[in-house]
Amino acid sequence: MTIWEYRKPALNLKQVHQLPGKYFGLKTEELKLLPGDRSQNFLVIDESNKKYVLKVSSAFDRTEELDFENQVMILLKRYLPQYEFPQPLSTIEGRLVAECQINGQNYYLRLLEYVEGYYLSDLKSIPEKLWRETGTLLGKIDLVLQDFFHPGSRRFLPWDVQNLLVSRDRLKYVSEPELRRQLDYCLLQFETLVLPNLSILRRQVIYGDGNEHNFILEKRGPETRLKGLIDFGDMTESYLVAEPAVALTYALMKSDQPELTARQLLASYSRINSLRNEELDVLFYLILARLVISLTMAAWRREVEPGNKYMRISENPARRLLTCLLSQNPEKWRRLFYRACGFQPDSLFLQKEKLLAFRKTHFSPALSLTYRRPLHIVKGAGQYLFDSQGRTYLDCVNNVCHIGHCHPRVVRAVTRQMAALNTNTRYLYDQMALYVEKLLSKFPRRLNFCFLVNSGSEANDLALRLARNYTGGTEILVIEGAYHGNLTSLIEVSPYKFNGPGGKGAPPFVHQLPTPDPYRGIYRGRSEKTSEKYAALAAEIIDRLLSENKKLVGILAETAMGCAGQVFLPPEFLKKVYALVRKAGGLCIADEVQVGFGRLGHHFWGFESQSALPDIVTLGKPIGNGHPIGAVITTEEIARAFATGMEYFNTFGGNPVSCAAGLAVLEAIEEEKLQENAKEVGNHFLQELRKLQKNQPLIGEVRGSGLFIGVELVQDRQTKIPASKEAALVIEKMKTQGILVSTDGPARNVLKIKPPLVFTRENADLFVEKLAEVLKALK
């Protein structure tokens, strides 16, 4: 146990019973154990029915620290006589701290006056007036303590937010991966946004524990007022702003109107003791810091002291608050804090209009923006995105930040590696072997060779080269509506592009199969029969090519289609087509760029859901959680055949930083069971959407697997005329409701849902609730 992992005494009532008499000349009539964190506290009642608190501290606490606490209580009573603070009483020998020995162990004893009243925590609902009074009292205390110094005030307390980084060590005690991720996210924010600015923050002695169990109330007539404060065991020299940060943390846990409470508490604090801009800038992150400390301490205590319930008293509310705050824009809170303190918040970001003008001047209009009024996103956390104005959006679109925006594991892996080394594949480095070994372990044994590239497009381009080289063929099969990437070679094989606006049609070597869309394709229904019919069309094309003496490269196909409108191929369609392609000497390329890495829930890869075994698999988007990586996985034979004498060199492909990102993604998917989450939340999501479909004629079909879902909007369920205009309106309206979703499909009438895999049931419920409102308002 290290020095800061303090030890609380564990004496029993019998051992303590004679102590008040022996050291303080008090006759103990009644003795009761009180809750306490560091010291063991006892309620002592003497013969005249007067109450006292006996505080027993272990010898781990220095006497200077106990004297420090005593001196502050005395000082506060002197300067703030309108409030009560427990006053230390003298021993028989006239000292404020007694030293005693029990069973060979040293203990320090203090006797404090008991402050009568009841606790703020006793109230079921706390009126705003009382939150204001707590803010005022803490402001006054900090003003009194502004120039106070005591040698005992410099002490290490794990609860002190300035010691947050110590909590990083305790993350290992947090057994739930989701919570661990949230806590690590907060640590990361602290490290990047608070730590570099600590030196400009004011320091002084603070009370440091403004929680509802420490504020004492009294009734005066009809009015309840704040009477005083107890428990000075968390006092220390720290950052002044930690005072309101701690108080706000507890207030937010308790309040059912958190924004109002925060505003009132902070306003009353700053009216007495005004805070500075730089302090308000970090306040939100210090609240998160305090939650991290509470929750990691609780996890640690569970491990070392399974029976100590007191320590875990605020665990559940803390968890709830953490989840709630992480789903809110920190900028909203910063602005709220500024206004509460009477300041006008400055803007931290460039103006949206400026950004728009810049784009117009220097970027091609070919780069489109989403939404009539584009979003200016400045930050992300898990499944949430935050804009420059303080608004929060639930991200239901981004399958690139697969395991959540700014996932701490990836951010840490990338920064650590960037600080150590970034180079290229002409050198040996561990990260590549570690990563590729893990990546290949996710594939059938036959697929055991890997090329690392920088994007899904690059992966598909290389896949085409590999297949052309191996087969010596020229002709390629693709599926109508498919998209495979932005390179010249891929526009040629992407019907989504060459058949779309600005497209020039299919090149002669590209052969399109009709989209095997079970909802609106030329053959319908989700049965193997449907697959057979579509496969027969593929067979026809292949036969024709062979009869024309043309050589097949193979088929390039998504394993569940994204841009085509979240189309799920009928059962074993790919298996059947792959067999035909192979028979004709072609290779089968599975584009997993959209749906790989567990998104489909039931399967890690889309080709598994089709019972198909490809020769080449291409990976992108989710692979690096936003870091640009791509990969091509293939067989030894195909990879070896590519060594024709021409070197394959890719400057960035497979660099150690990318490998670190990729490895972190795979580890997080496993550790946080994100594939399972995709399955469970996805099933729930689909079920709720289907319920909505029952009384919403505009919804033609709800289809999906895991967290890859499509909601197809039609004007009429019989004719299936696409409701394209309505779909465009829906995504605009959903945006104003704080939900980001996009449309796709040839008629852009399919709502495309593919959120980060940390998406929750509550997120799904919110989506369905808002969609119901939006659809209702469309009528």
Out of 621, 627, 679, 752, the residue judged to bind ligand PMP by CB under 6 A:
621
Secondary structure element (H or E) that encloses residue 290, with its range: helix 277-304
Stretch 485-504: interaction string toward ligand PMP, x if CB under 6 A = xx------------------
Contact letters for ligand PMP, residues 449-488 (x by CB under 6 A): ------xxx--x----------------------xxxx--
> How far are the Cα atoms of 114, 130, 219 from residue 227, in angstroms, in the given order?
13, 11, 9
384-387 and 377-381 as β-strands: parallel, antiparallel, unpaired?
antiparallel
- Among the listed ranges 349-357, 524-532, 586-594, 604-612, the one in contact with ligand PMP (CB under 6 A) is 586-594
CB of 474 to ligand PMP, least distance (A): 22
Identity at 268, one-letter amino acid code: S
Residue among 41 and 658 whose Cβ is closer to ligand PMP: 658
> Which CB sits closer to ligand PMP, 132 or 627?
627
434 burial class (0-12, 13-18, 19+ CB within 10 angstroms)?
middle
CB of 592 to ligand PMP, least distance (A): 8
H helix runs in 441-505, sequence order: 456-471, 488-491, 495-498
591 binds ligand PMP per the rule CB under 6 A: yes
Classify burial at 375, counting beta carbons within 10 Å of its beta carbon; exposed 0-12, middle 13-18, buried 19 or more.
middle
Strand residues in 584-676 grouped as ranges (E): 587-591, 616-619, 630-634
20 sits near ligand PMP (criterion: CB under 6 A) = no
Which residue carries 């792959």 as its tokens? Answer: 578
Q: Which is nearer to ligand PMP, 453 or 768 (CB)?
A: 453
- DSSP 3-state of 435: helix
Cα atoms found within 13 Å of the Cα of residue 733, Cβ hemisphere only = 18
Least distance (Å) from ligand PMP to the CB of residue 591?
5
The three-state secondary structure class of 726 is helix
For the window 205-244, what string marks contact with ligand PMP as x by the rule CB under 6 A?
----------------------------------------
Site for ligand PMP in 692-711 (CB under 6 A): none
At closest approach, how far in Å is the CB of 716 from ligand PMP? 30
Q: Find the binding residues for ligand PMP in span 304-333 (CB under 6 A).
A: none
Pairing between β-strand 392-395 and β-strand 739-740 as defined by DSSP bridges: parallel
Residue 312: how many other CB atoms lie within 10 Å = 17
Residues numbered 398-417 forming contacts with ligand PMP, rule: CB under 6 A: none
Taking residue 779's Cβ as centre, other Cβ atoms within 10 Å add up to: 7
Cβ closer to ligand PMP: 117 or 626? 626
User: Least distance (Å) from ligand PMP to the CB of residue 464?
Assistant: 12
Residue number with CB closer to ligand PMP (485 or 516): 485
Q: C-beta of 594: minimal distance to ligand PMP in Å?
A: 4
User: How far apart, in Å, do the first and last CA atoms of the chain sit?
Assistant: 66
Closer residue to ligand PMP, CB minimum distance, 67 or 592: 592
Q: Which is nearer to ligand PMP, 484 or 627 (CB)?
A: 484
Strand partners, 627: 625
Phi, psi angle pair for 624, to nearest 5°: -120, 15
| DSSP symbol at 514 | P
Nearest to 750 by CA among 530, 558, 561, 497: 561
Contact between 614 and ligand PMP per CB under 6 A:
no
**Contacts of ligand PMP in 60-99 (CB under 6 A):** none
Answer for the pair 593, 619: CB distance below 8 angstroms, yes or no: yes
Least Å distance, CB 609 to ligand PMP, is 15
User: How far apart, in whole angstroms, are the C-alpha atoms of residue 729 and residue 741?
Assistant: 11
Of 386 and 578, which CB lies nearer to ligand PMP in the complex structure? 578
| Smallest separation (angstroms) from ligand PMP to the CB of 494 | 8
Centroid of chain to Cα 602: 23
- Residue 469: other Cβ atoms inside 10 A: 16
Which residues, 506 to 565, sit near ligand PMP by CB under 6 A?
558, 562-563
Asked if 593 touches ligand PMP (CB under 6 A), the answer is: yes
631: β partners: 452, 619
> Least distance (Å) from ligand PMP to the CB of residue 438?
21
3-class secondary-structure state, position 568: coil
- Minimum gap (Å) between residue 628 Cβ and ligand PMP: 8
Q: Which residue has the tokens 């002190």?
A: 160
Phi first, then psi: what are they for 395, rounded to 5°? Answer: -90, 110
State which residue, 86 or 620, has the beta carbon closest to ligand PMP: 620
Q: Toward ligand PMP, which CB reaches closer, 341 or 560? A: 560
Size of the site for ligand PMP (CB under 6 A): 16
Which residues on neighbouring strands pair with residue 52, listed in sequence order?
44, 113
CB of 638 to ligand PMP, least distance (A): 19
The closest alpha carbon to 462, from 476, 471, 472, 452, belongs to 452
- Residue that the structure tokens 């469309």 belong to: 778
> Cβ–Cβ contacts within 10 Å for residue 12, how many?
9
Nearest to ligand PMP of 322, 593 (CB atom): 593
- The distance of closest approach from Cβ of residue 454 to ligand PMP in the complex, given in angstroms and rounded to an integer, is 8
Q: Which is closer to ligand PMP, CB of 208 or CB of 622?
A: 622
The 3-state DSSP class for residue 246 equals: helix
Nearest residue (CB) to ligand PMP, 145 versus 563: 563
- The nearest distance, CB 425 to ligand PMP, in angstroms, is 20
Closest-approach residue to ligand PMP (CB): 456
Q: Does 594 bind ligand PMP (CB under 6 A)?
A: yes
CB of 651 to ligand PMP, least distance (A): 16
Interface positions with ligand PMP (CB under 6 A): 455-457, 460, 483-486, 558, 562-563, 591, 593-594, 620-621
